[in-house]
Structure 1
Amino acid sequence: MEDSRAPGKSISLETDRLILRARRVSDAAVLRELWTERDPRVPPRRQIDSDGRPTIEDIEDQIRSSSRELNLLTVERRVFGDVIGYCGLIDTVRGSDGEPELAFEFLRRTWSQGYATEASWAVLHWAQSSGYRRLWATVRDWNGASRRVMAKLEFVETARVEADEIHGDLLFTTKEL
């Protein structure tokens, strides 16, 4: 059986309202828009810098150079065919070896419509069917909306917290699959 977690394997997931697929260069403008909408409390490495970076071209280059392994999938609405954000798994040093982190981000105009929860459930089901046993997710203490999504997905807050007086404490959550 082919390992669906192997690099080079293109993943596409579907829900009633969404299509989650590999990123395309044509997604760069929307992905940059996400950068412009971020809360000012987000750490500087995830903000547009004083030189206006990342630019759309920077994001296009990053997409071109990334491998096709499951990473962050672009999320499209089926009815409109528009890109509204991303959701997927990322490798981090936060969890144990082989335990990736769930990550998502959506355009503000699509908030409070259940898209983050719906897309995340699709990724969780894929992760479980692919043999993952546990996932991690981190969220800033001030991010009530993402904390509610984590609760709906049945992630459990751990005792692990990275204190950050400037950007807000980073809470670690986990989910057994």
Structure 2
Amino acid sequence: MAVDAPGNEVALETRRLLLRPWRVAEAVVQRELWTERDPRVPPHRRIDAAGHPTVAELEESIRADKAWSSGLPAVERKVSCDVIGYCGLVDNGRGPAGEPELAFELLRRSWRQGYATEASWAVLEWAGSAGYGRLWATVWDWNTASRRVLAKVGFTETDRKEVDAARGTTLFMTRRL
């Protein structure tokens, strides 16, 4: 179910979750996501040797509404009111025009509780009502948990793959709405 959020942003609500815009104080959650990433994730998506991005840098990116920091809705557990990650759609140019990518990432302490699947269903429902005909997702071949989530919400593998000898193979998946 979609509800109006402050500032006319749209938030999505499920039985247990609220997907909504990030708040500046939640930059610490974003920083934790950065620190938890698998070492096989490309360096530009991990904390660098100098400790960047810092919490202050992430706070500023939320204030400035930079897409990489605030473009994907925060996933908040309604009972505990804590943010555990993000889930939403991005258009990063890797897929066909008009077909955004489903993207999600949750803190490790919230894994294996069905939150990624629940949040993904909410985004898919919203995307269908918004008129999208097809979505896609990319996932590392070694990321079995995310592959399971994508399969549960109806994504199927395509023949397209990008092989990186150091990091693994990126699989491209699609789903018709």
Q: Note whether the superposition's TM-score is higher than 0.5.
A: yes
Shift of 1:119: 0.3
**What amino acid is the match of 1:59?**
L
After superposition, the C-alpha distances for 1:40-66 in whole angstroms (9 at most, x for unaligned) are 111101110011000011111111112
After superposition, the C-alpha distances for 1:69-93 in whole angstroms (9 at most, x for unaligned) are x930000101100111100011111
The answer to whether the aligner puts 1:95 opposite 2:95 as a matched pair is yes
* Mapping for residues 40-119 of structure 1, pairs under 5 Å: 40-66=39-65, 71-119=71-119
Structure 2 segments unaligned to the other structure (5+ residues):
1-6
The answer to whether the aligner puts 1:176 opposite 2:176 as a matched pair is yes
Q: Post-superposition, which runs of at least 4 consecutive aligned residues in structure 1 deviate over 4 A? A: none
Report the TM-score when normalising by structure 1. Answer: 0.92
SS at match of 2:123: helix
Shift of 1:9: 5.1
Task: Output the CA distance in 2 between the equivalents of 1:80 and 1:63.
Answer: 22
Residue 5 of structure 1 is matched in structure 2 by: none
Structure 1 segments unaligned to the other structure (5+ residues):
1-7
Change (3 A) 1:34 1:67: closer
Provide the aligned length of Structure 1 versus Structure 2.
169
Task: Output the CA distance in 1 between the equivalents of 2:170 and 2:59.
Answer: 29
Residue 37 of structure 2 is matched in structure 1 by: 38
Q: Percent identity among equivalent residues? A: 63
**What amino acid is the match of 1:81?**
C
**What amino acid is the match of 1:145?**
A
Tell me the C-alpha RMSD between the 2 structures: 1.4
Task: Output the CA distance in 2 between the equivalents of 1:53 and 1:9.
Answer: 32
Residue 160 of structure 1 is matched in structure 2 by: 160
